[in-house]
Amino acid sequence: MKTTDIVDNQNKRTDLPDIRPGDEVKVHVRVVEGGKERIQVFQGNVVAITGSGISESYTVRKLSYGVGVERTFPFHSPSVAKLEMIKRGDVRRAKLNYLRDRKGKSAKVREKREDQ
Residue among 43, 44, 27, 30 nearest 83 (CA): 27
Residue 114 belongs to a domain: no
% of the chain beyond a pLDDT of 70: 97
Residue 65 belongs to a domain: yes
**Sheet arrangement for strand 80-87:** 67-74, 57-64, 36-50, 24-33, 80-87
Residue 102 belongs to a domain: no
Task: Name the pTM for this structure.
Answer: 0.86
Residue 115 belongs to a domain: no
Q: What pLDDT, in 10s, does the model give residues 41-96?
A: 999 999 999 998 888 999 999 988 888 899 999 999 889 999 999 999 999 999 99
Residue 11 belongs to a domain: yes
DSSP state of 78: T
Residue 44 belongs to a domain: yes
Residue 108 belongs to a domain: no
Q: Residue 57: give the domain boundaries.
A: 5-90
What pLDDT, on a 0 to 100 scale, did the predictor assign at position 42? 96
Please tell me the total count of domains within the chain.
1
Residue among 50, 92, 45, 90 nearest 68 (CA): 45
Residue 9 belongs to a domain: yes
What span, in angstroms and rounded, lies between the C-alpha atoms of 78 and 28?
A: 11
CATH number of the structural domain spanning residue 85: 2.30.30.790
Amino acid at 83: L
